């Protein structure tokens, strides 16, 4: 017997293979200045998460050890230049990359939507519609005016304005997304 792809395959907990677009419960329209605000918030969140801070500490420790234990006359100078570049260029380039990615989807008048059903979350932007199962995400993060949904298996994720995901919607996401 052939089973239609949209039907669960026999496992009682399996979700449908073809996901329907959940109803959109929340809508947001971008205003002038929103792109810069979202880019700043997303950059701060990206640069202040635990793994990034651990990486910074490790790099700084290695650089300081090289400066102290390298018998080269200019080792300290090179270390200071390297650390300044790390602490200035990395945040600036991260902001520029995030800003470019947000430019086309957060221009004034751009409309976003957010919705849920029993199996998945839908995020609609002017460029795409993503319908993704809750299990694909790590626990959501709220802060600095944005909500971040990071994928379990990559460094990528969805950054949305906090007003698109008000506290009841955020609580719903937190309750539906499995803790890792």
SS3 assignment, position 158: strand
**Per-residue model confidence as pLDDT tens digits over 84-127:** 888 889 899 999 999 999 998 999 999 999 999 988 999 999 99
Distance CA 139, CA 177 (A): 6
User: What is the helix (H) or strand (E) element at residue 15, kind and residue range?
Assistant: none
State pTM to two decimals.
0.74
CA distances from 87 to 39, 47, 96, 173 (A): 18, 10, 15, 34
Q: Which domains are seen in the chain, by residue range?
A: 24-31+105-176 (2.30.29), 38-103 (no CATH)
CB 42 within 8 A of CB 159: yes
DSSP class of residue 179 equals P
Which among 132, 144, 143 has a CA at the least distance from the CA of 177? 132
**Phi/psi at 6 (5° precision):** -85, -5
For residue 41, what are the CA distances in angstroms to 45, 49, 98, 144, 171? 6, 12, 10, 5, 21
Q: Is 73 exposed, middle or buried (0-12, 13-18, 19+ CB in 10 A)?
A: exposed
Identify the helix (H) or strand (E) that includes residue 98.
helix 75-103
Sign of CA dihedral 89, 162, 170, 159: negative
**Which segments in the chain show pLDDT lower than 70?**
1-18, 180
Cα–Cα distance between 137 and 149 in angstroms, integer?
6
Structure tokens at 9: 């395959």
User: How high is the pLDDT of residue 155?
Assistant: 73
**Six token digits for residue 78:** 């090179």
């Amino acid at each position: 017997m052939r089973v239609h792809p949209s039907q669960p395959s026999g496992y009682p907990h399996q979700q449908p293979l073809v996901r329907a677009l959940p109803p959109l419960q929340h809508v947001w329209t971008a205003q002038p200045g929103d792109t810069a605000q979202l880019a700043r918030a997303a950059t701060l969140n990206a640069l202040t998460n635990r793994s990034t801070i651990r990486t910074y500490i490790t790099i700084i420790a290695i650089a300081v050890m090289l400066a102290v234990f390298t018998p080269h006359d200019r080792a300290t100078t090179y270390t200071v230049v390297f650390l300044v570049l790390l602490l200035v260029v990395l945040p600036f380039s991260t902001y520029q990359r995030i800003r470019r990615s947000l430019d086309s989807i957060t221009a004034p008048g751009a409309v976003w939507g957010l919705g849920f059903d029993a199996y998945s979350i839908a995020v609609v932007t002017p460029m795409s519609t993503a319908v993704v199962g809750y299990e694909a995400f790590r626990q959501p993060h709220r802060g600095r005016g944005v909500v971040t949904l990071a994928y379990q298996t990559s460094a990528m994720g969805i950054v949305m304005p906090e007003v698109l995901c008000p506290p009841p919607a955020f609580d719903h996401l937190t309750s539906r997304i499995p803790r890792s």
